[in-house]
Amino acid sequence: MKAYRIQFIRHGLTQGNLDGKYIGLTDEGLCEQGRLELLEKVSKYKYPYAEKIYVSPLKRCRETAELIYTNCTMRLVPELREMNFGDFENKRAVELMDREDYKSFLKGGLDNPPPNGESMRDVVERCYWAMDFIISDMMKLGITSTAVVTHGGMIMNILSCFGLPKLSPMEFPCDFGEGYEVLVTADMWQRSNCFEILGKFPYLMADEEE
């Protein structure tokens, strides 16, 4: 049975990340430090081959995809966008600590969104529709290796919801420009909406030669 490899990659560093802010739908690009760090990783590490790139529509993800996979077909997937943090957008945790609605938000839960923001249930639902589209598109086009450039929180939730072994989202951290590779078959997805988590990447160029 044909198997399909998908590489999930977190976008590069932005100024909002440096400032420690909640950056959800704010459409900022990579900062200079983020761009330089990403270029260094591209020169030093090996990223898995991809025939097509599926990307969050936000600028930081588009720029990341263009730096890692030059001259590759790119498809924007709206469902891959970051969480909408509502009234917490562009604010740091230290600015919010005295707010009761922020204290409530920190308790977590699927149906506990930030004020005027998006709930985790909505995010999880988007994760499913994004993955269903990507896997179906790969099968339709006969693509067996692709990359998905999105946001750290989205990667954590996608792997936690659909990945094997089953782990909590916090078990899937990844640095900027890094991520995880998974393997899926038509039977795995159509029967159980799941895929196998192969491991983290990128890896040193020398690793491929050894």
pLDDT digits (tens, 9 = 90+) for 142-181: 999 999 999 999 999 999 999 999 999 999 999 999 999 9
Cα 85 to Cα 83: distance, rounded to the nearest angstrom: 6
- Compute the distance between CA of residue 166 and CA of residue 10 in angstroms, rounded to an integer: 20
Tell me the CB-side half-sphere exposure of residue 59, using CA atoms within 13 A.
11
Query: pTM for the full model?
Result: 0.94
Mean of the pLDDT values across residues 92-119? 96
Q: Tokens 């440096």 appear where? A: 18
- E strand map for the chain: 3-10, 45-46, 52-55, 74-76, 145-150, 163-164, 179-185, 195-201, 203-204
Q: CA-to-CA distance for 143 and 80, rounded, in angstroms?
A: 19
CATH of domain 3-209: 3.40.50.1240
Does pLDDT of 208 surpass 60?
A: no
Distance CA 122, CA 136 (A): 21
